[in-house]
Amino acid sequence: MLLRSLLKKPASVTTNAKRMMSKLVTKAEEYEIKAASESRQFSKAPIMENFGELPLGEIPEPLKYTKPFKMTTLSNGIRVATEYWPSATSAIGVFIGAGSRDETIETSGSAHFLEHLHFKGTSNRSRTQIETEVENLGAQLNAYTSREHTLYHMQVFNQDQAKAMDVLSDMLTNSLYNNHQIEIERETILQELEETNKDYLETLMENVYFNIYREHMMGHPILGDIDNINAINRDMIVEFHTNHYFGDNMVVVATGNVNHDEIVDMAEEKFGKVRKDCPGERRNTEKPVYTPALLMVRDDEMVNSNVGVFYDAPDWKHKDYYAFLLLQRIFGSYSIEENAEHLNDVAKQYNALHGMIGDLPDVTKHECIYSPYSDTAIFGHYFFGNEVFTRQMNYCGMAVNTIYGHYMNEVEVFRARNRLYHELMNIQTVSDVLQSIGPQILYLNRRVHRSEIAQRVSYLDAHHMKNLCYDYFYDAEPSITNWGPIEGVSSVGSYKYFKQHTMSTVTNAHHALYC
């Protein structure tokens, strides 16, 4: 019944939709943004008869302003970017355009291993001295490794910016990679791997990447597997650092109460001796091939199933990148603790997918995931629920995508757009802004301000999003990953069965899943 109702385009706001409108909401033509209470406009309540609060192409007033941004390239190729605004603290970070993608099968896990070792002592500071100096500054020192880049960053008081740059440069250019520290860190990483394997979402996503990019290093886990972690040695660590930590592959970013010229001088002093070019040939630069497939991972000790349904998607540079940011918010996320009270109330359902989940009472979690990279991306859904509903969870991951290719509800688009506006306005801490700038410089070599993101998204209406879903999901080939007990995994069926369901919206076979 829900599927049939989605295909009927309402000519005006339904009675149920009107019930959800607050009596305190003013008429659309009288509604205006007030700077002191900008977050109020993003609640679900202000849904007017024109299905939205802002006209197409209009963005909230707070998002129209951009902070001063500057970028300079040093003689050795290092790009130095700063974004200024008055703040009590500043953040300084160094992005390296290398991650697990740049490894080989034999050295898988070395990028993450190297990140850990940079905290374990240099020729100027021991591990204890690094920790003590950071604590004495009242600073925060963190790092992470992804598939395509690595980040080291510090948040400090404004007067300690030079010290932060000194600590970061010392870690990245003078680390010793002591064999004793390598053995200690090996145990730490093995424990981290064990903890990661307890996270259902993280574990399933590693299987998803393997299923999709199995012939490429993008499909290998960031931490590496147990055999690789045990086999990594100092030579592998030094080789990875030599081949990937060079000027053209590095970006220094500073945010907060910073002076661009001073940051450039600091970077020139501390990183000026870093060589400009890669001494060898870059690995794995070819575009990863998306593989549509059905992967079943049996685990009879589990009582629930984890399901991932993913599609090929636009990368960072693609024209549809911003539309997929919006589409991710249209699907949103769901957990039974937070959303259960809305599932069977049509007036309160956040979107069509969550309405379908309402028919599956033991599906307790859903997450829409969009992961773009330099030349590829994946978009899809993660589900967690009782193994009895494994087949239905796989179906849900495809059905609404196809339905949206035939009809997209305007209300859902406005809600998602407002949600994205709200998220953009919440990117305001020095660390959050720093982490948003780095990938933009690495992938696009320019700053994409939140005002530009909001402006691009503001022109995306239901018609555009419907066509987008049709282009990417109708008659598409999804990559499906199932992890759970044998009863649930074995009930999934063949890949051909699910492939057929990407070519139609409502069929008897669809309804049979719920009978």
- Strands of 363-372's sheet, edge to edge? 294-298, 479-484, 304-312, 377-386, 363-372, 333-335
| Nearest to 112, CA basis, from 206, 241, 24, 303 | 241
Q: Collapsing DSSP states into helix, strand and coil, what is residue 77?
A: coil
Q: Are 480 and 498 in contact (CB under 8 A)?
A: yes
Q: Are 117 and 232 in contact (CB under 8 A)?
A: no
Tokens encoding 496: 């051909």
| Nearest to 377, CA basis, from 461, 441, 316 | 316
Q: Name the strand (E) or helix (H) holding 452.
A: helix 450-458
Query: Residue 7 contacts by C-beta under 8 Å, 6 or more apart in sequence?
Result: 403, 406, 407, 505, 506
Tokens encoding 274: 């870093």
Cα distance between residue 458 and residue 449, in whole Å: 14
Strands 294-298 and 140-145: unpaired
Tokens encoding 8: 């009927």
Tokens encoding 47: 């849904």
At 50, give phi and psi (nearest 5°). Answer: -95, 15
What interhelical angle do 410-425 and 462-473 show, nearest 10? 100
Cα distance between residue 390 and residue 483, in whole Å: 9
Q: Are 308 and 381 in contact (CB under 8 A)?
A: yes
What single-letter amino acid sits at 479? S
Q: Collapsing DSSP states into helix, strand and coil, what is residue 121?
A: strand
CA atoms within 13 A on the CB side of 14: 13
The residues assigned a catalytic role are 115
At 364, give phi and psi (nearest 5°). Answer: -100, -15
- Cβ contacts of 103-108, under 8 Å, gap ≥ 24: 103/217, 103/220, 103/240, 103/283, 104/217, 104/283, 105/217, 105/220, 106/228, 106/231, 106/236, 107/228, 107/232, 107/236, 107/239, 107/240, 108/217, 108/220, 108/221, 108/224, 108/225, 108/228
Q: Collapsing DSSP states into helix, strand and coil, what is residue 23?
A: coil
